[in-house]
Structure 1
Amino acid sequence: MRLGLEQLAWNDRVITQARKLGWTAYGQVGANKRPADPALILTRGPRILVVWLRTGRRRSDRQPPVERFPDAEVYVWYPDDWARVLGALTADVHA
């Protein structure tokens, strides 16, 4: 799946901010990307965030299979969720 410029910019914005805050970011290789798989897995200490990054219109009928990751914090973020993104990345959650 090829990402467009908007999707690439959104991915880069989240990854850059996460790394500034001490997260290690694991993304998919573009040629192997599948829509049902998360865009990013972020780790910092005991926390694991599984993140789907979306652009465009929110659609309740096209939600990712978040139940595949029962022990992780799971998020679906859109560009207008930036405050939530920052909240999740800066939260001090103890496992």
Structure 2
Amino acid sequence: MRLGPEQFAWNDRVTTQARQLGWTAYAQTSTNNRTADPALMLVRGPQLLVVWLRTGRRRPDRQPDVDRFPGAETHVWYPDDWPNVIGALVARPAPDVRG
């Protein structure tokens, strides 16, 4: 699947915000993008978010299988979900790694 400018911009917006809040972002490469796979895996200390990023219309029949990652917090985010994105990224404080 080839990603267009809208998809790249949405991915960049979420990734940039996550990194600013202390998350490490692992993203699919554009040449290896499959719609069934998550767009991002965000890690901060012991926290893991598995995220599918979507643009366009929400279609219940085209939602990813988020149950493929048992035990992980999973999300499917559209640009209209920005408040939910921020909420998930700041919901838990970053772990204190000072020793």
Larger Rg: 2
Amino acid at match of 1:57: R
In structure 2, C-alpha distance between the alignment counterparts of 1:9 and 1:87, rounded to whole Å: 20
Partner of 1:62: 62
3-state secondary structure, aligned to 2:42: strand
| Residues 15-94 of structure 1: pairs in structure 2 closer than 5 A | 15-92=15-92
**Cα distance in 1, alignment partners of residues 56 and 29 from structure 2:** 22
Deviation at 1:70, TM superposition (A): 0.8
Give SS of 2:43's match: strand
How far apart, CA to CA, are the structure 2 residues paired with 1:24 and 1:82?
19
- TM-score of the superposed pair, with normalisation by structure 1: 0.95
Deviations 1:45-77 (A, max 9, x none): 111000000000000001101111011100000
Amino acid at match of 1:68: R
Q: Which amino acid aligns with 1:3?
A: L
Instruction: Output the aligned Cα RMSD.
Output: 0.9
* Structure 1 unmatched runs, 5+: none
| Percent identity for Structure 1 against Structure 2 | 72
Partner of 1:8: 8
Aligned-pair distance for 1:92? 1.1
CA distance in structure 1 between the aligned counterparts of 2:29 and 2:10, rounded to whole angstroms: 16
Alignment partner of 1:48: what SS? strand
Residue 39 of structure 1 aligns with an amino acid whose one-letter code is A
CA distance in 2, matches of 1:60, 1:22: 32
Unaligned runs of 5+ in 2: 94-99
